[in-house]
Amino acid sequence: MANVVLKWKRPETIEFPKVWHTFKAKDLNTDELVEYRIQDLPTNRVEDVFEHMMANYIQDEPISQVLEGSKDPNHIEDYKLCWSKMAEQKVPLVCFKEGSDEIVGANMLFVLKKDDEFMQAACGLFKSQVTKDLFDLMMILYEDFDTFKYYGVDEYLTSFGLSVSRKYRGRSIGDHFLATRKKLCKQYNLKLTHTFFTSDYSNQNADKVGFETNVALKYEDVIKAHPRFSHIANIKSKGMTLKTLMC
Ligand SMILES: CC(C)(COP(=O)(O)OP(=O)(O)OC[C@H]1O[C@@H](n2cnc3c(N)ncnc32)[C@H](O)[C@@H]1OP(=O)(O)O)[C@@H](O)C(=O)NCCC(=O)NCCS
């Protein structure tokens, strides 16, 4: 566990949990507009967010979905290992609807520093082949792209899971989560946010808020070049990307 460490620390001068963004969108079951807020994930809701991520993210994120990761307790444990470190950094965001404590969505954000060995160290501890495959697919995108070098930065805001509860999808809440990252970057003094996007829906969210595409690969081309991934052939999205938003 020694190197599964995120070195960046949230400045103690920034209030926690902070509300970063509010917006109006349709309520459930009616067209009435109600207020939603995107805020820091409070410490006492971390376990609830893990439950939300298991029910709405692991089941529907295209790579975990096609590899049936939700049926693999080790895959869930691997994710939880990473998410708990992110929660300790106090950077993840959660969305609530006015007057309710139901989790509408979450974005498991963290700040990665150039000399962190976080993902590599976590990968060494992953127990599930599904998580290892997910990581290897991500590494294909990074074969010829180094975010730190390309943008000349030593740290950036990134993510390991964007999720909106199934019943709240279709309200562009993904756009709101991604756009809110700009406010975090400003306050944390970070120049950019950068993410591995695996779903057509999240790729659309990112394009709508102005992320630039660094690398894009179609899953069918990945399978042609790396036949060991033929078991993802039935994946429900077209491609995976690396995308960046300058803040
Ligand atoms: C990515 C995600 C957060 C986007 O949710 P969102 O912001 O509510 O999506 P949008 O409002 O932009 O939805 C646009 C349309 O796509 C539909 N849609 C969004 N996500 C969908 C999904 N996973 N499956 C089917 N349809 C979906 C919406 O219902 C909406 O349809 P409409 O135009 O007919 O109303 C959501 O799909 C999700 O939680 N997916 C599971 C986890 C995942 O894949 N995360 C991203 C990995 S990088």
List, in sequence order, every residue forming a beta bridge with 178; answer none if it has no partner. none
Considering all CA atoms of the chain, what is the largest pairwise distance in Å, rounded to the nearest integer? 50
Q: What is the mean pLDDT of each run of 10 residues along the chain (247 residues)?
A: 87 97 97 97 98 98 98 98 97 98 98 94 94 98 98 98 98 98 98 98 98 98 98 98 98
Q: Whose CA is nearest to atom 13 of ligand 1?
A: 170
User: Cα separation of 229 and 207, whole Å?
Assistant: 27
User: Cα separation of 168 and 218, whole Å?
Assistant: 28
pLDDT score of 20: 98
Where do the domains of the chain lie?
19-190
* Residue 163 near ligand 1, beta carbon < 6 Å: yes
User: Cα separation of 184 and 189, whole Å?
Assistant: 8
pLDDT score of 111: 98
pLDDT score of 73: 98
* Centre of ligand 1 from the C-alpha of residue 136, in Å: 24
User: Cα separation of 119 and 188, whole Å?
Assistant: 21
* Residue 60 near ligand 1, beta carbon < 6 Å: yes
pLDDT score of 129: 98
User: Residue 154 corresponds to which tokens in the numbers above?
Assistant: 């030593």
- Let me know: does 36 contact 173? Beta carbons within 8 Å: yes
Mutate to test the pocket of ligand 1, among 166, 201, 240 (most ligand atoms within 8 A of CB): 201
CATH of domain 19-190: 3.40.630.30
Ligand 1 atom nearest residue 173's Cα: 7
Grouping H, G, I as helix, E, B as strand and the rest as coil, residue 235 is: coil
pLDDT score of 2: 61
User: Cα separation of 108 and 86, whole Å?
Assistant: 7
pLDDT score of 208: 98
pTM: 0.98
* Residue 59 near ligand 1, beta carbon < 6 Å: no
User: Cα separation of 46 and 49, whole Å?
Assistant: 5
* Centre of ligand 1 from the C-alpha of residue 199, in Å: 9
